[in-house]
Amino acid sequence: MKIKKGQLILLLIAVFQSACIFTANAQITKILNGITVKVGGRQVGLLVTKDAAFCLSLNDFIGPSTIKSVFIDANNRGITKYSVISSPPSYGIKTSYGKLMINRNTGVWSLYDAAGRALIRDGVYSATDSSIQITNSEAGLLYGSGNRSSKDIEKNESNSSVSNGVTGIPYFWTNAGYSAFGVSANDDHPATWNRDKGKAALTWKFSGKTANLYLWPAKTMYDGAMGYIKLTGRPKLPPRWAFGYLQSQWGWADSSYIANVATKFRTHKLPVDAFIFDFEWYTTLPDYAVHKEGKAGFTDFTFNPKLFPYPAKQIADLKSQGLKFIGIRKPRLGNDLLLDTARKNGWLISPKTDSRDLNFSNAGLRKWYEEKNRPLIKAGVDGWWDDEGESYYTCYYWWNTAQRDLLVSARPNYRHFTINRAFSPGDQRFGYCTWSGDIPSTWPSLADVPRDLLNFSLAGMYYGACDIGGFQGTPTKEMLVRWFQAGVFFPIMRAHSNIGTTARFPFLWGDDGEAAMRKALNLRYQLLPYLYSLGHEAYSTGAPIMRPLAMEFPADTTVANLRDEWLVGKGLLAAPVLNEGGKRNLYLPNDTWYDYHTGELILGPKTISVDKALDEIPIYVRAGTILPVGPVIQYSEQTSAAPLEIHIYPGKNGSFKMVEDDGVSYNYTKGDIRITAYYWNDKAKTLTWKVTGGYSGKNVYKTIKAVLGKKEKMAAIGKNGSLIFK
């Protein structure tokens, strides 16, 4: 097409106007991902980020703020399509999920959902030379900032810091219909939020001169979680073996002791997937008495020959029995010569203090650390247990970065798995577990665990764990059994104990204790197909494996802060006994429920009292649930010719996506999976299924046994099929 001179001038004007709107006084400037608005002589950014959220960006008032934060997933480079809204004195941006506006005369900003409903009407901000505050009044019930400020699920503030088993996250979801996530200029001094006692004002506080407040409309907790992982990253799956039982202790005596414990687990038919080793695997003595100069001859990066005289062979022998190796790591050095090297290179976080802790954010240190650990990975180490890394907020992020980068080069395409004592936003991108710290062996401590792990789930930590049995002290037999039973329904099931206490090996706790713990372990392994599929759901949607009942029943005020029972997925309700004596009350929300063990039908809402024997766990299943149940196996990679049981709980239509893959590689991120989508038509009493995906490893199920009450039907899975129960 031939363009005339006059047309060219008009075209140039249009292009110029699209780049700079209302150029007189530079009131609004359009940039790649939004606009900046001149408000009181300052530039405020109204931006879209990735495909998830808006960003209210406050900066040094010179230009648009660009905060580089490890909290934000750099791999998601998509930019949401948006349009500019100009309605002087208000300006903003609009997307498919809502709009963000600001009044340039008053500085008041507002957030709307896709239907135009105001979620925040009266947002304001203020700044000093060293901090920024952003305030609004719309709040509602708040969830999601971790367990640092309190163990309640409902929150009134965040404390964005880390400590032994506790973490605060600058994030929340509110039933007012949105989520918010704050990023300050320095990731190690994260944003915090709180609302006043009258709950009239909610205030974000940012240290420094820059602030990014990410906001997205989110009608449900599920919407909030989806937006969170779009922004901060999808939760990578740990290897499938990490979904089994992990046995830890401080006090493995020697090589014969290790071999004997492995034999006992297998001969006693106690399922287990990994042994986790404390200090003794790499050094003869703990380093707590080592001074800042270090100790001559201290070993930081070798195997202790008392336990592992032939490490590669011994680890291979353990693996031949279905047992993986996880070793503890500390964020510091003990050897004097290695400490000299670290100091000379500026690799310590506080060179002038007594601290021996490493600064893992230093790229040079990470490369050196990788090479020191490479022989250990080559010898067969499968995962790390990272302890005591709370010296700065992002320590675990950078520590895991070093370990992940080593694994990529030393064992390509093998899934990263670590157990850590705290977390920060984005750590879920690694395949990362957090345990609830060095807790005592008491009943109140057991009761606290689900409170911690539910808070982890709502703060973006998808794989929570604890020291089953408690770390400090020795539990009673009853307490340990009840702890095991609760652990069946945690994302990661791990027992641990302090040196000098009785190890949490089930065969040390009497015949009745061992039998009860075996029964719990068998159930855990039968639920692996379900739990692992929920891991895939978390990766795809952000829905946590372990969920508060408030996620599914948001209108039920009884469950708004309920912390001693929880859902695994949408349909399985765990209400383990968390107190002495076997008795407890539990609440079933407004739905139809089935007792998992007896099949008894119970109509909610209803509070019931139960009295359970030592080997019994209160478990209930929601109508419409399709629950895949595998055979009892001794470790997760053990194959079985037994069919997969598909338990159907009638009363509603239902569906479930069963996901299978190789369990160890990242091929699932490229679609190398098999999904069997099961559907239950309650009126027709028909189960149908359809298989998609190309994965066809030896571990996939080939037959199913569908179970509806006392009725059972067998079928080959094939590519699709159906079974009618009439």
The token pair at 678 is: 């099961």
Q: H-helix or E-strand containing 648? A: strand 644-648
Q: Which three-class secondary structure state does DSSP give residue 198? A: coil
Nearest to 628 by CA among 601, 666, 660: 660
- Is-same-fold flag (553-622; 639-724)? yes
Class of domain 553-622: mainly beta
Contact 279, 250 (CB under 8 A): yes
Pairing verdict, β 211-217 and 131-136: unpaired
Report in angstroms the alpha-carbon separations of 293 from 60, 344, 359, 701: 42, 13, 17, 57
* Least confident stretch, 76-90, 213-227, 387-401: 76-90
Report the alpha-carbon distance of residue 62 to residue 74 in Å, rounded. 25
Phi first, then psi: give them for residue 415, nearest 5 degrees.
-70, 135
> What per-residue confidence (pLDDT) applies to 6?
44
What are the E-state strand segments in 285-337? Answer: 324-329
pLDDT of residue 27: 80
Is the pLDDT score of 198 beyond 70?
A: yes
- Residue 51 pLDDT grade (very low, low, confident, very high; cuts 50, 70, 90): confident
567: helix, strand or coil: strand
128-141 mean pLDDT: 87
Mean pLDDT throughout 646-672? 98
CB contact at 8 A, 109 and 37: no
pLDDT at 62: 46
Among all chains, which residue has been given the structure tokens 């070798």?
302
Distances in Å between the alpha carbon of 30 and those of 15, 50, 92?
A: 12, 17, 11
| CA atoms within 13 Å, Cβ hemisphere of 252 | 29
Q: Which pLDDT tens digit goes with each residue over 562-612? A: 999 999 999 999 999 999 999 999 999 999 999 999 999 999 999 999 999
Whether the predicted model's global pTM rises above the 0.85 cut = yes
- Among residues 712, 715, 707, 667, which one has the least CA distance to residue 691? 715
Q: Any idea of the CA torsion for 578, 580, 583, 585, to the nearest 10 degrees? A: -40
Mean residue pLDDT across the chain: 94
pLDDT band for position 10 (50/70/90)? very low
Angle, nearest 10°, between helix axes 311-320 and 363-379?
Answer: 70
65 — pLDDT class (breaks 50, 70, 90): low
| H or E stretch at 723 | strand 720-724
Amino acid 197: pLDDT:
77
Check residue 63 and give its pLDDT: 44
DSSP lists the bridge partners of residue 168 as: 146
pLDDT at 406 exceeding the cut of 70? yes
- Residue 543 burial by Cβ neighbours in a 10 Å radius (0-12, 13-18, 19+): buried
pLDDT on residue 26: 59
Angle between the 311-320 and 255-267 helix axes, to the nearest 10 degrees? 0
Distance CA 16, CA 10 (A): 10
For residue 71, give the DSSP letter: T
Work out the number of other CB atoms within 10 angstroms of the CB of residue 641.
8
The average pLDDT across 241-256 equals: 98
- DSSP 3-state of 409: helix
pLDDT at position 647 over 60: yes
Structure tokens at 295: 């100790």
Crossing angle for the helix pair 528-541 and 221-232, to the nearest 10 degrees: 70
Place of tokens 């499938």: 240
pLDDT score, position 18: 40
Instruction: Please tell me the predicted confidence (pLDDT) of residue 104.
Output: 94
pLDDT band with cut points at 50, 70 and 90 for residue 299? very high
pLDDT per residue over 147-189, tens digit each?
999 999 999 999 999 999 999 999 999 999 999 999 999 999 9
Q: Is the pLDDT of residue 136 over 60?
A: yes
Six token digits for residue 525: 């392994």
3-state secondary structure of 291: coil
Cis peptide leading into residue 605 (ω within 30°): yes
3-state secondary structure of 132: strand
pLDDT at 5: 45
Helix (H) or strand (E) holding 16, with range, is helix 5-19
| Domain 639-724 class, CATH top level | mainly beta
- The tokens 């230093």 sit on which residue? 362
Furthest-apart CA atoms within the chain: distance in Å: 95
Query: Cα torsion for 114, 116, 119, 125, to the nearest 10°?
Result: 100
Query: Beta 566-568 vs 192-195: how paired, if at all?
Result: unpaired
Q: Are strands 703-708 and 711-716 parallel, antiparallel or unpaired?
A: antiparallel
For 607-637, b where at least 16 C-beta lie within 10 A, e where not — what string? Answer: ebeeebebebbbbbbbbbbbbbbbbbbbbbb
- SS3 at position 594: strand
> 409-449 pLDDT, tens per residue?
999 999 999 999 999 999 999 999 999 999 999 999 999 99
Contact, 601 vs 636, CB < 8 A?
no
Instruction: Answer whether the bond into residue 89 is a cis peptide, omega within 30°.
Output: yes
CA 224/CA 142 separation, integer angstroms = 11
Cα–Cα dist 367/362, whole Å:
9
Q: Which of 366, 306, 307 is nearest to 331 (CA)?
A: 366
Taking alpha carbons only, the member of 317, 305, 322, 320 closest to residue 259 is 317
Fold of 240-546: TIM Barrel (3.20.20)
Instruction: Extract the tokens encoding 92.
Output: 């903003």
Residues 6+ apart with CB under 8 A from 670: none
Closest C-alpha to 647, from 722, 573, 709, 571: 709
Average pLDDT for residues 633-653, to the nearest whole number?
Answer: 97
pLDDT on residue 75 = 83
Give me the pLDDT at residue 76, please: 72
Residue spans per domain, the chain: 23-232, 240-546, 553-622, 639-724
What integer is the mean pLDDT of 643-660? 98
pLDDT higher than 70, residue 15: no
And the tokens for 132?
Answer: 């920024």
Tokens 């100790």, residue located: 295
**What is the average per-residue pLDDT within 5-17?**
36
Check pLDDT > 50 for residue 61. Answer: no
Using the 8-state DSSP alphabet, how is residue 570 labeled? T
CB neighbours of residue 725 within 10 Å: 17
**Model confidence at 207: pLDDT above 70:** yes
Write phi, then psi, for 191 (nearest 5 degrees): -65, 160
C-beta of residue 413 within 8 angstroms of C-beta of residue 443:
no
Pick from 343, 324, 323: which is nearest to 333 by CA? Answer: 343
pLDDT at 52: 77
318-341 mean pLDDT: 98
Asked whether the CA dihedral 348, 349, 353, 356 is positive or negative, the reply is negative
The closest of 542, 623, 598, 628 to 710, measured between CA atoms, is: 598
Angle at 189 between CA 184 and CA 193, to 5 degrees: 65
Q: What's residue 64's pLDDT? A: 45
> Using alpha carbons only, what angle is made at residue 229 by residues 466 and 398, rounded to the nearest 5 degrees?
65
Q: Which CATH architecture has domain 23-232?
A: Sandwich (2.60)
In the chain, the N- to C-terminal Cα span, in Å, equals 69
Start-end of H helices in 411-554: 443-458, 477-487, 510-526, 528-541
DSSP conformation class of 57:
E
